[in-house]
A and B are shown apart, each in its own frame.
Chain A
């Protein structure tokens, strides 16, 4: 062990140079790859918390990063269908094509909710495989972290032991945080909320909260004035405690409805970087819970 350590330290400068390039489609997976990959990886986050992951331009800079990636970590379930295929096609990087070891989809390690019964564009922006916003449930983060640690070890066998060790350390810290969050979140159980888009489907499922209204008439369709008025009327019959939106979504519909219903509108960080406190995955859930608890009865 000692010899290996010495070996590692001696080779550190070289490894720092040859760090595995990880292309993460979303900030949450960039953060997770950073937790597990540590100094053995160089992580590029393709999007920020202020960007709608459904609608990203396949920018040249992203193609350039995709070209150099050794591992692509994305959500999958067609969340990135509007831009990721272009990057994969244009970059000419054979190792990260779907089906290869260098292509990792987080939704593969989680069972998805809300698989549409009817696949029809008349239903709006439906995802055939289910709701892709899995990372809002911290238990899913744990599941993905295990799969990701295993995949990193596979893609970069030289550092396999380090990935496994960091993966286990992360899981232990995450389990402790989970217990803490679940205790704190107890008052949230059963709390009714209105949401802008089903972005927090998994978060609400984890906390046992109830969605009583959705601002978008259909997933991905902008809330219209008429529909908002309907939702406002609906909230009079079945009141909600708060209106939730992700920071990247326009504040107008949520704020309008919140004023009408006299309840707070919460701009949840949604992912890492979505607020000052959500600087890592732990901060993300700390901040999310704090905001929700403030609105709880």
Chain B
């Protein structure tokens, strides 16, 4: 049935366009040919329909249709993906980057000036057997390999219950479970930097339950080693930290969806070390021992016209935290280096808070733009006797960030970001970041 048309194109190509009369004759001829062909096709189809209309047994028809050999996800090899990330950063020359008024959380990676490679992530996941699923995420950087996550999760418990064990990113808050490649901005929110360095991960277990309701309701409890900031590693039995979280979510019409949550983290620290500047402006090493509790409230709201996010969509996310720490702080003797601390150990109490709010708008396919506002409140910090050596800041760190990103496909993204960073007292920095994120292989679906 393709023949007349092919013939027509072949003939059209063979004859000069000016030969109109000849062409008309040809057209008439072709039309005739076409109608005879079509009549034959119709006759054939009528016969076909008769054959099909005959009451063929349904089972026989089903047998006739070939079965697909593989179901989705039914492969023995794990899904492997590799995420390549890199940056160009235009920053001021600042030796020690530290959020003013907050004890530095762990040894967070500062962004080097100029060109640099971010962590390369290697991710593998698969079903282990009918009862478990496994996931593994390795972050690679020069002379450094970090197992970001390595866990199993039950798949067969049912009733909305799942148990996760191993090293995993805690389910608290919203952004916490996202790896850096899934962030909407080129750098971490100040809040997460102040709270955990990057994100709160733990070696332990997580029990989660989803309620059988129309409204999405999820509750989880975690217990673990608690080695990450704000806790410290320990040589003891039992759990060093535990977390509780709950999330609610739903749709409002076809175009809007939301999720809101509240989380609580309790952890213990023993001689948690932080570098601070003492009252003389000298480096002082402090050791904190005590308890740290953190509350996080999170809200995500997404909009897409008729729920079709392919063309345009908007996402709003905000999180707020309150953290209080209670215990004792030792400021190591640095008088030898001209510092003020004399090694005294005294009570320490702090209540601090902060938030970020961000909006990201995809205004046309592939292109998104976003704005993020970070603000932290140093709240009340009581160094006890050490307040003679350590300054208390009232400065409220803040940052404005604007980004524009372009994603040629779901697997690649280029991003330009400008930030006005006022996270350090006495410094107001303009930061420019250009970033790429590329994902190779079977990249898993991202959560809401």
A residues lining the B interface (CB < 8 Å): 47-48, 50-52, 54-61, 63-65, 67-68, 76-78, 81-86, 89-95, 97-99, 105, 107-112, 121, 124-125, 129, 142-143, 146-147, 150, 167-168, 171, 175-176, 178-179, 182-183, 186-187, 189-190, 192, 208, 210, 220-222, 237-238, 248, 250
Q: Does B20 contact A (CB under 8 A)?
A: no
Inter-subunit contact A64/B2 (CB<8 Å): no
Cβ 8 A contact of B67, one of A78, A109, A238:
A109
Inter-subunit contact A90/B161 (CB<8 Å): no
Nearest CB on A from B401, distance (A): 23
Q: Which 10 A-B pairs have the closest CB atoms?
A: A60-B249, A60-B216, A94-B158, A64-B216, A92-B160, A50-B306, A52-B310, A61-B251, A59-B257, A111-B66
Inter-subunit contact B160/A91 (CB<8 Å): yes
Known contacts A51-B308, A59-B251, A98-B71, A192 near B5 by CB under 8 Å: yes
Known contacts A60-B249, A61-B250, A82-B445, A92 near B41 by CB under 8 Å: no
Inter-subunit contact B365/A222 (CB<8 Å): yes
Nearest CB on A from B32, distance (A): 14
**Count: A-B pairs, CB below 8 Å:** 205
Nearest CB on A from B19, distance (A): 18
Inter-subunit contact A107/B68 (CB<8 Å): yes
Inter-subunit contact A89/B62 (CB<8 Å): no
| Residues from chain B with Cβ under 8 Å of A221 in the complex | 409
| A95, B42: Cα distance in complex, Å | 48
Q: Does B109 contact A (CB under 8 A)?
A: no
Q: Does B65 contact A (CB under 8 A)?
A: yes
Cβ 8 A contact of B71, one of A47, A55, A105, A248:
A105
Residue of chain B at shortest CB distance from A238: B9
Inter-subunit contact A179/B53 (CB<8 Å): yes
Inter-subunit contact A57/B302 (CB<8 Å): yes
Which of B1, B158, B209, B247: most chain A Cβ within 10 A? Answer: B158
B residues lining the A interface (CB < 8 Å): 1-2, 4-5, 9, 13, 38, 41-42, 45-46, 48-49, 52-53, 58-59, 61-62, 65-68, 70-74, 130, 133, 153, 155-162, 208-218, 247-251, 254, 257-259, 302, 304, 306-311, 365-366, 409-411, 444-448
| Residues from chain B with Cβ under 8 Å of A51 in the complex | 306-308
Residue of chain B at shortest CB distance from A108: B68
Sample of 6 further A-B pairs with CB below 8 A, known A56-B309, A64-B215: A81-B72, A82-B445, A91-B210, A94-B158, A112-B68, A189-B45
| Residues from chain B with Cβ under 8 Å of A210 in the complex | 2, 5
| Residues from chain B with Cβ under 8 Å of A89 in the complex | 133, 153, 155
Inter-subunit contact A61/B216 (CB<8 Å): yes
Cβ 8 A contact of A55, one of B46, B68, B210, B309:
B309
Nearest CB on B from A24, distance (A): 15
| Residues from chain B with Cβ under 8 Å of A52 in the complex | 308-310
Inter-subunit contact B72/A61 (CB<8 Å): no
Residue of chain B at shortest CB distance from A191: B5
| Residues from chain B with Cβ under 8 Å of A107 in the complex | 68
Known contacts A89-B133, A92-B159, A238-B9, A182 near B61 by CB under 8 Å: no
Inter-subunit contact B4/A190 (CB<8 Å): yes
Inter-subunit contact B410/A82 (CB<8 Å): yes
| Residues from chain A with Cβ under 8 Å of B302 in the complex | 57, 59
Cβ 8 A contact of B210, one of A64, A81, A85, A175:
A64
